[in-house]
């Protein structure tokens, strides 16, 4: 047989990691790496964080799973904390980003249908977006490379240019239920939407009676220096999907919505077998314990302020390798002039893990707990790797 037992859906780097500690990862054969990918923005507190390890161990010895046939104390605790620290009034728990996005899109349809407007089901999304890999979410993202071979596309998504308010307004019809955006496009290449765009979308949603939905699967949980990226603007969405950093490495997602949306979701309207199980809630509540400590988010902003000028300088020093740096907080994109795959491979040669993105970008998504010394080490590697790459 020539097919690998693990289905070949990824172009994997030939590294097998055995353990991690803080911002470091180690292979079985003794190589060590500074982790500026954090499992694609998932390991928000790095690896083997003592508080997370203790919380998960303690829960593992008590109860893993009960189903949602019963109350789950960890869900009640986490939901109350998410509600207390966001625009949301109510939270649904699931297992991944795609599921969280599917959930909020389902809720947007039901919100309008509960008001007798069955024709309002279409959702405006941005081009170059990424909302996950389910059938509906590849249609929401609308990217040819994700849709290829999976036709017919799921109906109900209309695509407009990211950042373009005029195009968004022109796409609104009597069938439009919601507008969905990532505050900063992640897989698309770390492209931040500006504050005027956010405000404009909010005003437009209000004017036409649409729900404004943010995909904060990547931007959320402190990644940009605020708990959620929408907090940098003075507007709030009606619904939001969160996942990645939420469990610090344990698979968990959440739909955060206002009361107006949540009240159409009666018993039986949506569900998940695993969603919000005690093990996942122990992990996510432990992440919350740390992220909500008074000094934590200020540390993220402080370390980002330390990193950005150094990174900007190293990018300017290698104009044949890098074009520019963009992003917010610790969600950073290096747009490259040489193929980003070569840059990522050279970073690995020098001991730094990063993540690719569209638009020939390399993503730097370090754990939020990184230190100044680790930033210095990463900048040194980026400098040396770039010098070795210069044509």
116-175 residues in contact with ligand PLP (CB under 6 A) are: 130-132
The torsion of the CA quartet 72, 279, 183, 80, rounded to 10 degrees, works out to 30
By CB under 6 A, which span of 68-76, 181-189, 272-280, 371-379 interacts with ligand PLP?
A: 181-189
Task: Name the percent of the chain in helix, strand, coil, to the closest 5.
Answer: 40, 20, 40
Q: Which pair of structure tokens corresponds to residue 48?
A: 């083997």
Nearer to ligand PLP, 132 or 327 (CB): 132
Q: Identify the residue among 243, 279, 300, 330 touching ligand PLP (CB under 6 A).
A: 243
Q: In what order do the strands lie in the sheet with 352-353?
A: 17-21, 24-27, 32-35, 352-353
Question: Using CB atoms within 10 A of its CB, is residue 313 exposed (0-12), middle (13-18) or buried (19+)?
Answer: exposed
Question: Using CB atoms within 10 A of its CB, is residue 68 exposed (0-12), middle (13-18) or buried (19+)?
Answer: middle
Nearer to ligand PLP, 98 or 386 (CB): 98
Nearer to ligand PLP, 46 or 97 (CB): 97
The torsion of the CA quartet 355, 358, 361, 366, rounded to 10 degrees, works out to -30
Which helix (H) or strand (E) segment is 36 a member of? Answer: none
Nearer to ligand PLP, 182 or 374 (CB): 182
The number of angstroms, rounded, from the C-alpha of 82 to the middle of its chain's C-alpha atoms is 16
Q: How far is the CB of 129 from ligand PLP (least distance, A)?
A: 8
218 binds ligand PLP (CB under 6 A): yes
**What is d(CA 78, CA 90) in angstroms, rounded to the nearest whole number?**
11
98 binds ligand PLP (CB under 6 A): yes
Please name every residue paired with 162 in a beta bridge, in sequence order, or none if there are none.
none
Nearer to ligand PLP, 109 or 131 (CB): 131
Q: How far is the CB of 190 from ligand PLP (least distance, A)?
A: 11
Q: How far is the CB of 241 from ligand PLP (least distance, A)?
A: 7
* From 33, 87, 130, 250, the catalytic residue: 130
Nearer to ligand PLP, 95 or 315 (CB): 95
Q: How far is the CB of 363 from ligand PLP (least distance, A)?
A: 10
By CB under 6 A, which span of 180-188, 303-311, 357-365, 376-384 interacts with ligand PLP?
A: 180-188
**What is d(CA 231, CA 263) in angstroms, rounded to the nearest whole number?**
24
Nearer to ligand PLP, 24 or 357 (CB): 357
Whether residue 33 lies in the annotated active site: no
Whether residue 244 lies in the annotated active site: yes
The residue among 224, 194, 219 whose CA lies nearest residue 305 is 224
The residue among 85, 54, 83, 59 whose CA lies nearest residue 73 is 59
3-state secondary structure of 22: strand
Q: Identify the residue among 102, 182, 238, 374 touching ligand PLP (CB under 6 A).
A: 182
The residue among 281, 338, 306 whose CA lies nearest residue 55 is 281
- Which residue's Cβ lies closest to ligand PLP? 97
**What is d(CA 280, CA 152) in angstroms, rounded to the nearest whole number?**
35
- Kindly determine how many residues on this chain lie close enough to bind ligand PLP according to the rule CB under 6 A: 15
* From 120, 157, 215, 322, the catalytic residue: 215
Q: How far is the CB of 248 from ligand PLP (least distance, A)?
A: 14
51-90 residues in contact with ligand PLP (CB under 6 A) are: none
Residues belonging to the active site: 130, 215, 244
Residues of the shown chain interacting with ligand PLP in the complex, contacts defined by CB under 6 A:
96-98, 101, 130-132, 182, 186-187, 215, 217-218, 243-244
């Amino acid at each position: 047989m020539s097919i690998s037992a693990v289905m070949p859906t990824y172009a994997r780097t030939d590294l097998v990691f055995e353990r991690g500690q803080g911002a470091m990862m180690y292979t079985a054969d003794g190589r060590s790496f500074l982790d500026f990918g954090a499992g694609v923005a998932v390991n928000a507190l790095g690896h083997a964080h003592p508080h997370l390890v203790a919380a998960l161990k303690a829960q593992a010895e008590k109860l893993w799973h009960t189903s949602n046939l019963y109350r789950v104390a960890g869900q009640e605790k986490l939901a109350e904390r998410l509600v207390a620290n966001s625009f949301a009034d109510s939270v649904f728990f699931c297992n991944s980003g795609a599921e969280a996005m599917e959930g909020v899109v389902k809720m947007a349809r039901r919100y309008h249908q509960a008001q007798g407007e069955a024709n309002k089901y279409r959702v405006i999304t941005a081009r170059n977006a990424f909302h996950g890999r389910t059938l509906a979410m590849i249609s929401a993202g609308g990217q040819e490379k994700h849709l290829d071979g999976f036709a017919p596309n799921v109906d109900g998504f209309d695509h407009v240019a990211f950042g373009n308010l005029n195009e968004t307004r022109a796409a609104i019809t009597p069938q439009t239920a919601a507008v969905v955006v990532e505050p900063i496009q992640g897989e698309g290449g770390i492209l931040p939407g500006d504050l005027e765009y956010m405000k404009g979308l909010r005003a437009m949603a209000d004017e036409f009676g649409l729900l404004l939905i943010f995909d904060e699967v990547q931007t959320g949980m402190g990644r940009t220096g605020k708990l959620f990226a929408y907090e940098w603007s003075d507007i709030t969405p009606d619904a939001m999907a969160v996942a990645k950093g939420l469990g610090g490495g344990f698979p968990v997602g959440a739909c955060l919505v206002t009361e107006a949306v949540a009240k159409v979701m009666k018993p039986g309207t949506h569900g998940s077998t695993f969603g919000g199980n005690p093990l996942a809630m122990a992990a996510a509540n432990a992440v919350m314990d740390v992220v909500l400590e008074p000094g934590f988010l200020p540390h993220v902003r402080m370390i980002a302020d330390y990193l950005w000028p150094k990174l900007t300088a190293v990018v300017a020093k290698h104009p044949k390798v890098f074009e520019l740096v963009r992003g917010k907080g610790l969600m950073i994109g290096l747009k490259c002039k040489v193929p980003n795959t070569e840059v990522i491979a050279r970073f690995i040669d020098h001991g730094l893990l990063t993540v690719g993105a569209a638009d020939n970008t390399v993503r730097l998504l370090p754990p939020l707990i990184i230190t100044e010394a680790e930033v210095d080490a990463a900048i040194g590697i980026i400098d040396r790797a770039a010098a070795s790459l210069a044509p």
